[in-house]
Each structure stands twice: as C-alpha cells, then as structure tokens.
Structure 1
C-alpha cells in the first residue's frame, strides 16, 4: 500500500506525493514525516502576524519584569552603587542579605505575615463558598435582589467603613493584635462570592439532586459534592486573597502598634522610615528586604497560574 502526503505547489495549493508503503497510525505521524522531508511547512511560517504578536508579548514581559530584575540586582550592590542602573552589579556582595536580618526582626515579620495570610485566605474562601452555594443552589424569593445587594457592597470605598470597623475592634480590645487583619474575612467577600457562585451555577444540578436522593444532608451535599467540584474557583479565591493579605499595608498601619506584631508590609514601612527618607539612606537594606518580601508571592503565582486561568475562565461560562 502506498501512502500520499501533501506538499506545497508553486501556486500555494498542496499536491500529493507518494511515500514508501507502511502503516501510518496517526495524523501526527503523517505530518511529522512530511515536515521531515520539507514538503509541508508548519502553519506558523505562513503567518507573520503571529511572530509580531509574540515579539510584542516578549517586549511587554521585559517591561513588566524589569523593575523586579532591577530590584534583585540592586540587592547585591553596595550602598554607593544601588542606583547606578546596572543590571549586572559592578561590585557583587551578599552583605545586604546578612545586614537586613541583623537590622530588623524580619523572620518574626515573615511568621506574622504567614499566619495572617493563611487565616485570611482560608476563612474568606470557605465563608464566601458557603454564601455562593446558597445563591447558586437554593431557590427562594428575593434571591436576585439579595445577591444584587451583595454585589453593591463592592462599590463602597474602603474609607467609608474604615472608622466604624476600627471602633468595633477597639471596643473588643483587639487593636494592637493580628486578629483584625484576618477575622473580617469570616464574613466573606463580595467578589469571591460572585466568582464562586458563577462557577457553581455551571455545575450539573443533577449531581446535587442525586446526593439528596441518596440521603445526604444539605451540608453533606455542599461539603462532599459542591466544594470538590468547585476547586478551580476556590483556588482562584485562595490565591487572590493570599496576595491581598500578604501585601496589605493599610490595615497593618491602622491596627498594629508594636514591631513584634508587624507584618512584612508594615515592617518594610518601618525600614523606609529608618533607612530611607528622613533616615540613614541605606537603600540597599530596603531593596534587599523588598526582594525577600516579594519572592514568596512570585512563587505562589507561578505554582497557581494554571488554577487561576482555569478558575477564572470556567467561572464565566454561565451567568
């Protein structure tokens, strides 16, 4: 049996050339043999616009990555060379990474931030999922109106609720502790409720009805069926809140008083006050601490980028 493969003719059409006989099991194998003989060029070679798009993406990636690359480079420079704009340090030193641990309780700040971030991310994800499940699964009068009220809270500026919230925590005696930085998430977030609800609406309702027929309680349906199926949306909410809590400076400035309770953003602010403007102008310490504070978030987004894309795209399937 003789197989024929296409090759490019002068007029741009494909002609068929015979190949040696033999079983060809897949289209990929046919294409691989043809390309190996130079008879069939990949489609990308016939679309210059694709190369232009790729070049533009590379340029934009470099533009967005440059500040962090500069930050890393500056962290390995002595004080006199921090702002020389060389990406490769003329004088390479690790002393900044030793000094920053000596000048500030950075390890304690990192521990405080990890605790606050973990509690804030877990509580807001679970509480938002519960509310989202109620709006997605149950049918009751006024459901659309109540959901609209939840979404309307996103239009309230944070400054509107800042003082009343502070008065509440002050009355509870929690000012100066880490509790106000994460306990507010026990009541969910409008954005995460919307995101998870949209994902749950796309889940087959027959699965939940079948679980109810099998005798599962409402809580069992939510915990054993809905939550496992909603993992992509939950992962998005978790990662977003990790980033938001890790970089939260405003609440740390409002509620934290002692440097033993500082989080990383609040600690960096104290370093800027001590070694930056109005201080000793040791910017090499500040940029080094900034690198240490930024690297964990880059790792989190690198590990969770697939879940972010999947969760956001799947959450918009059904409105």
Structure 2
C-alpha cells in the first residue's frame, strides 16, 4: 500500500449572509468543505462534488470500509477538497433558507438502482452488475448516507452557486470531480471558476440537453438553469466516466455528444472499454473503485497540467 505524508487536514463552513425570515434570522445558504493536503502537493487540487441525497463522505471511505477516492488522489499527490453541498452531510437542511426538500429515499427506491441492479434487471445491461461490495453491511451503510435533497434541480444548482466563490478561493486551481446529481453543480462551478477550474471529471453525471427529469428540465444544456457564472464551463479538458451496468448509459452518451462539440479536450471514458467491468452507478463505492480512480488519474496526467509542485522547483 502506498503511503503519503500529510501537511494539513481540516474543514470549514462556507456561509452566505443571514436570512431574515419573518420573526427569525437564519444562517444563510451554507456548505461544509473538508480538505486533506499532502506534503509537496501538485499545483492543482481535486474538488469532489457528491450527488443526489448523498454527501462528501461518499468519497472518503467505501461502504465496506476501504479507502476511498480521496486516498487514491492523495497518493497521487493531489490536495483534495470534499464538499458537502448545501443541506447535505454536515450542512443541515433548513427549509426557511433552502426551500422544501424531498423525503429521504427508502430501500425500495435505491436498492434496485444502486445495490442490486442485477437482481431487479430494470434496464438493459443491469444483469452485468457485479461490483457492489460483498460486505453484508455495505448496503445498509450506503442507505444510512442518503438524506433529503431539493425538490428541484434548479434549486440544487443555485445553492451551490451561492457558495461557489468562497469554495474556489479555498481550493485554488482545481479539478472538479462530480458524481450524478452533482454533475450540473460541477458545470455551474466551472462557469463561476473559469480558468480556476483546470478540468472537469464527471462520473455518471445526471442530465443531457432537453432531458425531462421529475425534479426539472435541462433547459440550459447540461444544467437546469442559466449559469450565474459568466465563463464557458466546457472551455477546458472534460471527461465523462460511465460504468458498464448503469442506467445512465444513454443519458451519458447524449451528454458526451453535447460536450464533445464544445470542449477543447474531451473523452467519454466507458469503463468496459478499459477492461473495467460490472460497474453500476456508485463508481466510488464499488469493489473496483481504486481501478477507476487510477484510470481517472492517468487521464489527468495525459490531458491536464497537474505536475507535482516539487517537480516544478
């Protein structure tokens, strides 16, 4: 096992101005970000943006207790920042500020899509799913991580945009690594960040242009709403990563067509084409998560200037 020496780790709440809601004043839109910084980091960091009702912990450890993507990118020399989007993880949901939330998802909703796709066979290719961890508690731990989320995709986008400047000031030049419903938030961060976002790695991102979703329509390309940032979110290297047994395959193919026409460097990384098979939607949680992270790191090495700081001295 490769080891690394830490220079710093910690976390902070990113905050917006307080909100006066009638007879009370509430903390504004806020998010928690945790960081892990190795000695002699690369000059570009990694920013993990979780999906759906999840949280940043999705990237720290897998449901069966293995080291997560955070560790893999640290071993490769990257400072890593792990976001709990507003209202998720360590950022509590406050309807007075964030608006209404969905109920937390129950087993009958999430197990067929995340944990047991092969058993339920709800889409073409679901039977190929073989990478959910064998630990019998992995499914329960995954469910324990899932909470409420905004009742509209547009609200989720606006929540992240509200803390985007503070977040990017903290990360410095960064690569956004998003997952699922964090995908639209990742494009929004790229639109705010401009050159501060060196690349975007979107793992199974939700949405394609014109997609109709129960929580909103993708009216702005790969996002539901017009961006509050003024930069082209695709004017940098971009990769979309898709598993073999996920329901996201067609949506990711359409998203890839959209990005390919706009990004200067683009690759749709279809995992089985790289010998990585059997994956469902939770790429960072499944039994071959290290292989997937290593493939992403190799893509960055080939396409983005992320050299080690010590190599530049």
Greater RCO, 1 or 2 (C-alpha within 8 Å, sep 6+) = 1
TM normalised by structure 2 equals: 0.20
Higher helix proportion: 1
TM-score, with structure 1 as normaliser: 0.20
Larger % of strand: which?
2
